[in-house]
Amino acid sequence: MVEPKTVGEPAEIRVLDPEGKLLHAWELDFTPQAINVDDEGTIYVGGDGHVAKLDQNGKVLLKSDSPQMSALPPMPEKKEPAAIDKAAEEARQKKIAELTAKVEEAQETYGKARQEARQEAKTPANLTPEQKAAFQAKLQEPREKLTAAQRELREAKLSPELRAMQQRMAILQKASINAIAVSGNDVFVACPMTKGFGYAIWRTDADFGNAKLIVEGLTGCCGQMDIQARDGKIYAAENARKRVVCYDRNGKQLASWGKNERGGPEGFGSCCNPMNLRIGSDGNVYTSESNVGRIKRFTPEGKFLGLIGAAEIVPGCKHVAIGVNHDGSRVYLLDLTRAQVYAFSKAAILVEANKE
């Protein structure tokens, strides 16, 4: 078992000038996983079940629980390894031995049932649909008993400390924040679905109140789901479906565009793209692609305007955050693996990336 350790690196926001020089480092008491800025320069940050807003000097103006936390169970307390209770440990080991024997018996029963069904079927590969259904029906009960016995054994093997750790990790995964965006008095948070799989978008007011779930069931690869907002509209980079989706502030879908295309400049290539996006001051939508490092520009309705550039980033399905300056003359792309930022100039014209 891997021993969890505390990382000493501070959780902070770093402010750089256009040439990459570090200007400020603002420490936070939670790990920032997503960041955005509104038209007034107020900074919005989210991560690990928290959202906050800061002024332009890094002062925390407000901090709150992120909206999905209201739908999650309370976080279990950390359990430190306790002194071993000899009697309790002996009882646990006895239970494990009993359940191990139960699993072995269930495996033997299932094996016999499978062998008998095969012998009765004679040629299982050539069965009719009805015969296949009958074949599987004979195996259903012993298979379910085996699965239940295996599950019971896994549970018994967990120590109280490890069980609590697993519960905490499950909640922390759901408490993570993929992206945060602001439009007017609305704050939008993209995060994992609190139940099942996929991603959701929540809307709150500027003070993180009146939380409402507005979009469910977005599909993303490798834990990535980026959103941006402008003029009351939310744009999501639904990378697993090779598209950008546009919603109104209530979660009604207004438009979507994108297609899988390896060679041409307009479509999205590689495994799961577009991975990240950003809205320019003119309302145009910029998209970035992991693995291939391409940045493109579209109108708010999805018309392709041009390929901005392509950087030789480390391949992989991962976060490739981008930023656009006020007049679109510079676009930035993050190569997360190398911890490097690439700067592109002369927007809408394919140029060679200059590593900053």
The per-residue pLDDT of the chain, averaged, comes to: 87
Q: Residue 18: what are its φ and ψ, rounded to 5°?
A: -60, -20
Please indicate, yes or no, if residue 131 is contained in any of the structural domains: yes
Please indicate, yes or no, if residue 33 is contained in any of the structural domains: no
Confidence band for 4, pLDDT divided at 50, 70 and 90: very low
pTM score of the predicted model? 0.76
202 and 156 share one domain: no
CATH code for the domain in which residue 191 is found: 2.120.10.30
**Tens-place pLDDT, residues 317-346:** 888 999 998 888 899 999 988 888 999 886
Please indicate, yes or no, if residue 280 is contained in any of the structural domains: yes
* Highest averaged pLDDT of the listed ranges 89-98, 139-148, 201-210, 322-331: 201-210
- Over 70: is that where the pLDDT of 68 sits? yes
190 and 135 share one domain: no
Please indicate, yes or no, if residue 19 is contained in any of the structural domains: no
Please indicate, yes or no, if residue 139 is contained in any of the structural domains: yes
156 and 237 share one domain: no
* Per-residue pLDDT, 176: 95
195 and 160 share one domain: no
Q: Which two tokens stand for residue 12?
A: 């902070």
> How many beta carbons lie within 10 A of that of residue 151, not counting itself?
12
* Per-residue pLDDT, 299: 95
**Tens-place pLDDT, residues 10-34:** 799 999 998 889 999 999 999 999 9
208 and 327 share one domain: yes
Average pLDDT of the segment spanning 237-248 = 96
Bridging pattern class, strands 354-355 and 340-345: antiparallel
91 and 216 share one domain: no
270 and 313 share one domain: yes
Please indicate, yes or no, if residue 45 is contained in any of the structural domains: no
DSSP state of 320: -
244 and 311 share one domain: yes
Rounded Cα distance, 235 and 247, in Å: 6
Domains in the chain: how many in total? 2
* Per-residue pLDDT, 92: 85
251 and 118 share one domain: no
Q: In the listed set 168, 198, 220, which residue is the last one of a domain according to the structure?
A: 168
Q: In the listed set 168, 203, 228, which residue is the last one of a domain according to the structure?
A: 168
Contact, 251 vs 245, CB < 8 A?
no
184 and 151 share one domain: no
Average pLDDT of the segment spanning 226-239 = 96
Q: In the listed set 123, 145, 168, which residue is the last one of a domain according to the structure?
A: 168
Rounded Cα distance, 172 and 164, in Å: 12
Range of the structural domain that residue 103 is part of: 86-168
DSSP state of 346: S
189 and 313 share one domain: yes
Confidence band for 315, pLDDT divided at 50, 70 and 90: confident
- Over 90: is that where the pLDDT of 301 sits? yes
Average pLDDT of the segment spanning 231-242 = 95
**Tens-place pLDDT, residues 258-300:** 988 877 788 898 888 999 999 999 999 999 999 989 999 999 9
Average pLDDT of the segment spanning 126-130 = 75
- Over 50: is that where the pLDDT of 3 sits? no
* Per-residue pLDDT, 355: 46
* Per-residue pLDDT, 353: 41
